[in-house]
Structure 1
Amino acid sequence: MTVKELVWDMDGTLLDTTPVVPAALARAVRALGGPGVDADDIVAEYWRGTPEVIMEHLVGRPLMVTETEVYYRELEGAEGAPYPGVVDVFAALRAQGRALAVFTGASSRAAGMLLRSAGLHVDVLIGGDHVSRPKPAPDGVLLAAKELGIDPVDIAYVGDSPLDLRAAVGAGSRGAAAAWGHLYDQAERADVVLSGSSAGT
């Protein structure tokens, strides 16, 4: 199987958002009358999907659209720093004429805000709001393949979380583990492990 295109996870893979996203979500939850939660509590709920889904779970009730805006106001101006090597890798891929594609469990709106703040421009952005099932379901990887116009078997999905790697398996794609990410688990099977402290190694 030849890899023709890469699809990237965002949080913990392209961007170190651990200082900003959990804090913004925690503040939003408190503002909406939910319990006090910390970064670990928030990260433990990432598997649920979009920020809206996570907030509803933690607040304990359905939220109106106007209420979910609280999170985006908290996120406004936040910067998710690219991991070392990411900018260079993106530049090299762009120079080769390769597409830059991202599938993230975050909403496409939040992802767009964070990627722009980091100076990363992508051709395809699939957010958790674009699919009916969150990772580890393969829906986002399959949708990315469709948007890229290639077969899923020709994709490698790069992500730090076991859920990312399982999504790749479900799509019939290759799974590339981003070992620098905060959710990397060496016990999770991957087709290749991108090791070291940067995306360029």
Structure 2
Amino acid sequence: MQNFLFDVDGTLLDSEKMYMLAMQQALDETGRHFEYERLAQTFGTTGKIAFQQLGIPDDEIPGLIDIWQNYTKSTYDTMRIYPGIEAVLQQLHENPRLTTAIVTSKLAPEYQRDLVTNFPLDQFMDGHVTADEVQRGKPAPDSLQLALAKLKLMPNQTIYIGDTIYDLQAAHAAGLTFGLATWGGPKAQSLIRDSDEVLDQPHDLLNLIG
């Protein structure tokens, strides 16, 4: 592979608790209680799609997203970079034969906060695509297709690294190889089976260079 596209949440950043605990608080505020495990099933897609999957009426979603984002201020300190990520991203980025980029369900302000200001992984990237740049979020392939167009990448030389079924579905819909990052925790056997590459630690990414 010559081109490495990365999901963020659950792949580069351990951020599930930050988002899901805040989502749980936001839903509780509006009189809806969900167990954490149910909310975690929506992790990896956009806020709008996540709330739709939970059965929230479309007209209530924008306000609920605002409440959710406000609650992340109190859960933000649970987020961290996965061990080994920075060193591997630096090696990939310093290789003149390779292209590295982020394709994320984060909105542009979240990207600035998380990947530029607080966890500066953007320095190792040649570009990025955020959720507000496309009409449809993952599992639709729109954001990956935009990344290919922006950076003029060949699909058959490109791998998307992610951690959820939404990442896999988006990658395959875009005609890309999918690499499953398992360092964030156990994955369903069906997800492991359907992935093209299974990566147990960040250093395994270096074995995909070709």
Which interval holds the TM-score relative to the shorter structure? Answer: 0.7 to 0.9
- Relative to structure 1, is the Cα distance of residues 193 and 128 closer, same or farther in structure 2, using a 3 angstrom cutoff? same
- Relative to structure 1, is the Cα distance of residues 124 and 186 closer, same or farther in structure 2, using a 3 angstrom cutoff? farther
**Aligned-residue CA RMSD (Å):** 2.6
- Relative to structure 1, is the Cα distance of residues 153 and 117 closer, same or farther in structure 2, using a 3 angstrom cutoff? same
- Relative to structure 1, is the Cα distance of residues 81 and 165 closer, same or farther in structure 2, using a 3 angstrom cutoff? same
Q: Which residue of 2 aligns with 1:20?
A: 18
Equivalent-residue separation in structure 2 for 1:64 and 1:37 (angstroms)? 16
Q: Which residue of 1 aligns with 2:208?
A: none
What CA deviation, in whole Å up to 9, does each residue of 1:48-101 have, x standing for no partner?
x42244346565452485663333222237142111111111111222244431
Percent of aligned pairs with the same amino acid? 25
Contact 2:158/2:177 (8 A) holds in 1: yes
* 1:40-119 superposed matches below 5 A: 40-46=37-43, 49-55=45-51, 59-60=56-57, 62-63=59-60, 68-76=65-73, 78-79=76-77, 80-97=79-96, 98-115=98-115, 116-119=117-120
- Relative to structure 1, is the Cα distance of residues 41 and 91 closer, same or farther in structure 2, using a 3 angstrom cutoff? same
Name segments (4+ residues, structure 1) moved above 6 Å. Answer: none
TM-score by length of 1: 0.81
Q: Which residue of 1 aligns with 2:158?
A: 155
Equivalent-residue separation in structure 1 for 2:27 and 2:112 (angstroms)? 21
Stretches of structure 2 that go unaligned for 5 or more consecutive residues are 205-210
Q: Is 1:35 aligned with 2:32?
A: yes
Partner-residue secondary structure (3-state), 1:158: strand
Pick which of 159-168 and 12-21 moved more: 159-168
Equivalent-residue separation in structure 2 for 1:169 and 1:54 (angstroms)? 21
Partner-residue secondary structure (3-state), 2:179: strand
Contact 1:76/1:113 (8 A) holds in 2: no
Which residue, out of 110, 116, 128, partners 1:125?
A: 128
- Higher share in helix: 2
Tell me how many residue pairs correspond in the alignment. Answer: 195
Contact 2:162/2:180 (8 A) holds in 1: yes
Equivalent-residue separation in structure 1 for 2:40 and 2:149 (angstroms)? 29
Stretches of structure 1 that go unaligned for 5 or more consecutive residues are none
Equivalent-residue separation in structure 2 for 1:133 and 1:183 (angstroms)? 28
Partner-residue secondary structure (3-state), 1:70: helix
Pick which of 53-62 and 157-166 moved more: 53-62
Contact 1:162/1:185 (8 A) holds in 2: no
Partner-residue secondary structure (3-state), 2:17: coil
Q: Is 1:187 aligned with 2:210?
A: no
Which amino acid counterpart does residue 50 of structure 1 have in structure 2?
A: T
How far apart are 1:160 and its partner, in Å?
Answer: 1.4
Which amino acid counterpart does residue 106 of structure 2 have in structure 1?
A: A
Equivalent-residue separation in structure 1 for 2:199 and 2:36 (angstroms)? 26
Which residue, out of 8, 11, 17, partners 2:9?
A: 11
